[in-house]
Structure 1
Amino acid sequence: MGKNIVALMMQEYESFTRSERKIADYVLEHQQETQYISITDLSAECEVAVSTVSLFCRKLGLAGFNDFKLELARAALPAVPEASQSSGEITWEDSTGQVMGKVLHAAQDALNNAYHMLSETALERAADLIQRARQVVCLGQGNHSVVALAAWAQFSTTSPKFKTIQDSHMQTVVLATLSPEDAVLYFSYSGATHEVLEAAEVIRNRGARLILVTRYLNSPASAYADTVLLCGPNEQPFQFGSSSALMAQLYVVEVLLSEFIRRDPETAERSRQSVGKALTKKCV
């Protein structure tokens, strides 16, 4: 793209429809905030349909809303690197020690934000669904498949009803055979990918329960969820799955696991004792 996205919006402003001008006006006034907002939230702020936002992005020659956010972030990049000692941003002028400190503070902030974002009511609802479920499938895509794997590894020591699948085709197979007694614990930062929406549709059709761990309460996938566990920092468009977002989701996993064990400590302890004895045979 030749011109940056801000300049292009201003150049094309007169050709926009009334609804598209609402979007442009909001973005021009909230350039920083728009980099972190979901397409659903932007449509709500501008009082236009989600499809209008998508058409607006394509009218600017972009593939979609995520592409739009990338260009918006690119337009905001400084021409010359600037030192930032107080904001926590890592710069080329930082020493190794400063990088270590800033990463530590970012991790602490991510966990603190996750604690404040997580709803006690939503967590109790999730624990209820997991406790009653015949089986619980832990799923995620991309970086979040790692969190799903970690969740399964943790929960599987307490009960045999937990499973995970990494291959996308096998995920579809498992989802297509769910029953109303089953639950899915799905990790998705945006809650707005094709994969999570396709999975949510299958889960709903099978009558199973969906527990969604995401950053955005009003994400498209949230409409399918029986409960939504909010967590995660504001990711910059160029981060493509930050470690802070993964840490926030792992915090939710740990809290949910602790609540699950608290409700039936005897069963969890028996399972963990059995797992522990088996694993000791693998130690040298």
Structure 2
Amino acid sequence: MAQSNSVEIRIRDAKPTMTRVEKTVAEYVEPRLATVKSMSIKQLAHNSRTSEASVLRFCKTLGYRGYRDFILSLSAALGSDESVAEERRYTDIRPGDDLATIIENVSFNNRRSIEETLSVLDKEQMARAVMLLCAAPRIDWYGLGASGIVCADAQQKFMRINKRCQAFVDGHSMQTAAALLKSWDVAVLVSNSGTTAEILDALELVRAAGAKSIALTRYSKSPLALGADVVLRISTPEVTFRSGAMGSRIAMLNLVDILFSGVASAQYDEIKEYLERTHDALSSRHRE
């Protein structure tokens, strides 16, 4: 994937939760990336009719340490790809597409969801998440709808390595489970928007119980992201209502695979017996 998109992706994903002034900076920067890379913070503030403090807040909202970090990232990205304008874009479900087109479009969208998520993924946060999951005596997964499917997939994977792990996919069961957590337990809360009421209610109970929380979500400034101990961001535009949550689901499933592989690798000597036993059990059933 073209690296230059990583800056555009950060702006696109952060805009819904930006302040009014930060959006003003974003709207100036988005169509002028190549020009902005040569500007000082003073020039950008003047040209966007904001202030240097506002530009700095804009950079930090995008996840950069400061203005210099933002410009270095932008310059490196633009230098690595001169054909951004010609890049193919996400395509939604359209009436009358032939099957070959549908196969190509859906596969392209799924690949881009994973690639764009990797471009914004914080590896330090991922390392913290793996560490917490390794140490947890109990792991809960909370999610509704398509996010619940992600939770069910996680439960199936972590059960294979003998982790006490369960998926909860409705509000009442989430709240009941969260209220019973202990301080060493971990709850993974899955929500694309980070604003789902049931998920936020569960997060409040997780925190009250003293347990650790990991958020899988799109927006870094959502209530879920701001309240969780660890945040694993995805990045994927849901093109319109037609395609539903396909992109976010694929991106989240990929993060689940990374988490599972990270835990399994870190504890391989302890869990290899369980992997072998579950593999043999399933293989023997398939032979019958």
- TM > 0.5 between the two? yes
Q: Is the 8 A contact 1:35 1:236 kept in 2?
A: no
Is the Cα contact below 8 Å between 2:139 and 2:163 reproduced in 1? no
Contact 2:15 2:23 in 1 (8 A): no
Displacement of 1:232 in angstroms is 3.1
Q: Distance in 1 between matches of 2:202 and 2:102?
A: 39
Letter in 2 for 1:130: L
CA drift of 1:276 comes to 2.4
Runs of 4+ in 1 over 4 A off after TM superposition: 33-39
Mark the runs of 5 or more structure 2 residues left unpaired by the alignment. 1-9, 25-87
- Is the CA contact (8 Å cut-off) linking 2:137 and 2:163 kept in structure 1? no
Give the superposed CA RMSD: 2.6
Instruction: Please state how far the C-alpha of 1:148 moved relative to its aligned partner.
Output: 0.3
Change (3 A) 1:262 1:44: farther
- For 1:173, give the aligned amino acid: T
Aligned equivalent of 2:270, options 258, 263, 267: 267
1:164-214 deviation line (CA, Å, top 9, x unaligned): 223432221111011111101111101011111111111111110000001
| Equivalent residue pairs, number | 215
1-structure distance, mates of 2:106, 2:141: 28
Q: % of aligned pairs identical?
A: 24
Distance 1:209 1:124 in 2: 14
Deviation digits for residues 60-111 of structure 1 (CA, Å, limit 9, x no counterpart): xxxxxxxxxxxxxxxxxxxxxxxxxx64525435332122211121111111
Q: Does 1:41 align with 2:32?
A: no
1:111 corresponds, among 110, 114, 119, to 114
TM-aligned CA deviation for residue 133 of structure 1: 1.2
Match of 2:171 in 1: 168
Please identify, of 154-163 and 135-144, the stretch whose mean Cα deviation from structure 2 is larger.
154-163
Q: Which runs of 5+ in 1 are unaligned?
A: 1-32, 48-85
Report the Cα offset of residue 114 of structure 1: 1.7
1:97-246 correspondence runs (5 A):
97-236=100-239, 238-239=241-242, 241-246=244-249
Q: Distance in 1 between matches of 2:254 and 2:174?
A: 24
Query: Secondary structure of 1:273's match?
Result: helix
Q: Is the 8 A contact 1:38 1:216 kept in 2?
A: no
Shift of residue 272, structure 1, vs aligned partner: 1.3
Contact 1:213/1:228, CA 8 A, preserved across alignment? yes
- Amino acid across the alignment from 1:252: L
Aligned with 1:115: secondary structure? helix
Answer whether contact 2:114 2:250 (CA < 8 A) is retained.
yes
**AA paired with 1:40?**
T
Residue 279 of structure 1: CA displacement?
A: 2.7
TM-score normalised to the size of structure 1?
Answer: 0.68
Pick closer, same or farther for the CA change 1:164–1:128 going to 2, 3 Å: same
The answer to whether the Cα contact below 8 Å between 2:113 and 2:236 also exists between their aligned partners in 1 is yes
CA distance in structure 2 between the aligned counterparts of 1:178 and 1:277, rounded to whole angstroms = 32
> Are 2:17 and 2:219, in contact at CA under 8 Å, matched by a contact in 1?
no
Contact 2:192 2:217 in 1 (8 A): yes
Give yes or no for contact 2:145–2:169 (8 Å, CA) kept in 1. no
TM-score (normalised: structure 2)? 0.68
Post-superposition offset of 1:236: 3.6
State the distance in 1 between where 2:270 and 2:107 align.
Answer: 37
